[in-house]
Amino acid sequence: MSDQGISVLDRGFVRLVDHMGTDLTVVNAARVSFGKRKEAFDEKDAELVSYLAAHEHTAPFRHAYLTFHVKAPIFVFRQWMKHRVASDFNEISGRYVEFSPDEFYVPELFRQQAKINKQGGEGQIPEESRQAAMEAYTAACRNSVNQYKSLIEIGVCKEQARCVLPLALYSEVYWTASLQAIAHFLRLRLDSHAQWEIRQFARAVRELTEPIFPDSLAALMKPYGQQRKL
């Protein structure tokens, strides 16, 4: 496949590496129950896809897979890797690779703690505090990376030196998941309660998935309450 990719945040990206199947794969997986198979996707197939999603007959959606190459901060992957069902990750290893000195995420703005959503942020911190926040943040990240480099120069092995690196450090993974697993990821990580940074990666995943599985993804992404009205 061509190396499709979308830039995310300041240094990250999501690239579609490979995929298996189309919307037709989903309906053929469903129709095998009746010993039937089709060669072309039509309006009746779109109706079947909607029916399957509406009634939570999700097994056919697990016969379609996508593989992405993702570069994101470690704190984003901490959330992303909770999605393990029908989903596998292979990550760059700090035991083999020496990380670059400036490969950490620097936000454009700093959010203040949300009053209602205890784990989230909202708005911006006061203007008079923004420069101090940026200086403290970047100084901490640079100091961690500098100490990491110092440990390596002293002769400490990479697998131990990496322990001082910040959660803002960028890492890279290959992520392979079924279409159902991807839809579940998107339903949770596009929600307004999800952290803003992972929402940007979820948008990129959706943008790369929709052209391949337009009907199936649309059906899986409908709120369940709406689906049951079909």
Distance CA(208)–CA(220), nearest Å, equals 16
Contacts 24+ apart (CB under 8 A), 158-164: 158/94, 158/95, 158/96, 158/97, 158/98, 159/94, 159/95, 162/94, 162/95, 162/99
> Quick one: pLDDT band at residue 50, thresholds 50, 70, 90?
very high
* Section 18-25 average pLDDT: 96
Strand partners, 88: 176
The active-site residue, picked from 11, 37, 62, 189, is 189
Nearest to 169 by CA among 189, 209, 196, 140: 140
- Percent of the chain scoring above 70 in pLDDT: 95
Sign of CA dihedral 90, 94, 95, 101: positive
| E strand residue ranges, the chain | 4-8, 12-20, 65-73, 87-91, 112-113, 121-122, 170-178
The burial of 117, by beta-carbon neighbours within 10 Å (0-12 exposed, 13-18 middle, 19 or more buried), is given as exposed
2 has pLDDT over 50: no
* Section 214-224 average pLDDT: 89
Q: How many CB atoms lie within 10 A of CB 44?
A: 10
Q: What pLDDT score does 103 carry?
A: 92
Q: What pLDDT score does 210 carry?
A: 97
Distance CA(223)–CA(215), nearest Å, equals 15
Taking CA atoms, 165 is separated from 20, 125, 160, 174, in Å, by: 36, 26, 10, 21
* Section 38-49 average pLDDT: 93
Q: What pLDDT score does 119 carry?
A: 78
Encode pLDDT of 118-173 as tens digits. 778 888 889 999 999 999 999 999 999 999 999 999 999 999 999 999 999 999 99
Q: What pLDDT score does 214 carry?
A: 97
Nearest to 98 by CA among 152, 53, 58, 45: 152
Alpha helices in 22-126 (DSSP H): 23-31, 43-54, 74-80
Q: What pLDDT score does 36 carry?
A: 87
Torsion of CA 47, 52, 56, 60, to 10 degrees: -150
100 has pLDDT over 90: no
Q: Specify whether 189 is catalytic.
A: yes
State which H helix or E strand residue 179 sits in: helix 179-189
Q: Find the range with the poorest average confidence among 61-75, 107-121, 137-151, 216-230.
A: 216-230
Q: What pLDDT score does 88 carry?
A: 95
- Sequence-separated (6 or more) residues with CB below 8 Å from residue 228: 54, 55
